[in-house]
Structure 1
Amino acid sequence: MSISFEGQVAIVTGAGGGLGRTHALELARRGAKVVVNDLGGDVHGQGGSSAAAEAVVKEITDAGGEAIAHGANVCDAEQVADMVSKTMDKWGRIDVLINNAGVLRDKTFAKMTLEDFEFVMKVHVMGSVTCTKAVWEIMREQAYGRIVMTTSSSGLYGNFGQSNYGAAKMALVGFMNTLCLEGGKYDIRVNCLAPMAATRMTEGLLPQAALDLSTPESVTAGLITLCDRDAPNRTILAAGAGGYAKAVVYETDGIYLKPEDQTPENVRAQFDDLSNPEGQQELVQGGQQSMKFIGKAAKTLGVKM
């Protein structure tokens, strides 16, 4: 069954180049009316120009699609509100939001300034929050919405010299985990894409042969599955070089210690047991962990709940 976005409106941030561009082009090719958002700065967040966004709009319209450009800084609530207002004035709805805009300021933590740490957190985290907040009520009222956060293997697993970027990208997973619960009854589905592609952000980090395999288009193929009508909810999809995988946070079944045994020495002594993956599960709400631990305690102590 073909995936279509006919009759839908999508906003893609950071869409002037790289992954954002291919996301916007593919959404348009599949029928979406697209807002191409890009501040036009470099990978470090410096400068600004509308040229890149306008060029992507031209690609879309030349191919027979509909698109508009908007240069909102995703961290500026007033500018984002203007982008959303203009979108609603033109097309009357917003179905898809792709939070793709981002920056890099890589250094080891020892050499990194607090300003560089804060700036990367602001763009990735608060940029996604600001854009999501601006469309959230619209999606609630129309009882439909698809939102994708852009996370990263740097956040999921760590990467040398990217403490700021990794912290920001993992924060977006936590953001998704709660939004998908709050948006569920309004058919707002929220997912995360963990991409690996040859873009301005990866230049010089990988050998050319690897970059040649790591096309933005291969990542976009995964992205499209996270924001159509049949999209999953609360999924972290890793995509790169034609490979696709689901990343999941599991919690082991763990152990229980009686009150008189609840000492750090006993916790340490049973680290192998509490780390045993047998019986581990994916928890989808924080309360599940609480009930698991309380259940173990109640069962051991014979307390009726």
Structure 2
Amino acid sequence: MLSSRTDPQDRQENIFGLTGEAQSLADTLPELLVEARRIAANVTAGWHGRRRAGPGETFWQFRPFLSGEAAQQVDWRRSARDDNLYVREREWEAAQTIWVWADLSASMRFQSKQASASKRDRALLLMLALTYALNEAGERVGLAGLTRPLASRNAMQTIAETLVHENPEATLPNPDGIRRFSEVVLFSDLLDPPEKLEEWMATVASTGAKGHLVQLLDPIEETFPFTGPTQFEDPENGEQLKAGRAQTWQQEYLHRLAAHKDQISALSRKFGWSYTLHHTDRPAVEPLMLLHSRLADAPEHKMRGGL
């Protein structure tokens, strides 16, 4: 699917190759880090971590022994320290790690005059803000395929630095390392063929992990407001397509886009994942609030369909 452009100057030329794009990220990230903390503060109020007692291997806390419980649950070593009986509780490992990923491919650099940010910058902002909010809530977050799970409060900074040095342009992250009880949050325009997305989702789902898709679209990608002679350019390969009367393409374009989004929504239902559509002229806090509620409900890890 083509990203629409009417002015060649709108295209961000990566004339220095990977080094140029890495420099672009380095220039952009400081402001995004500040904004991410501000936005995260709006959603972290009342956002409590999902650590709780339950089946798992990691020690969580001691609690007083309750009348009626089996005697073998008593931790006698801890109980020997005073006159009370204690039970050792293990942490419920339903959400060991949350993996995040922002699509930084060429199509994500598009920004129309109607949008407050490019799709790339909005994806980065959302990913960094979510990382910060989750760490504040005691969760472990990792950049899928590139970092280990991070529980420290500098996880957001570490992920940002990794992006600059690694400069990943893959639309989808490497699923290696994603395991059961993990969750994956993907920020992308999701304009690649649905078959590619489905293959990746199937690989992730086969591990027992759960996913959340956040599709980012520029407002003009939803409305196709073009008239008269217009030149369109594919940002991924540079191919160009000229329309003499662009307005005659509108209905067919909108039909295809709607069908494409329906396919993504259907894939989300198939694998039991969540799907959020976000437009870059809307406040960034909106998808974060939705992710907040969906991640808060996620510990059940029940696949509602599919595999």
Relative contact order, higher structure (CA 8 A, sep 6+): 2
Specify if TM > 0.5.
no
TM-score, scaled relative to structure 1: 0.39
TM-score, scaled relative to structure 2: 0.39
Give the structure with higher Rg (CA).
2
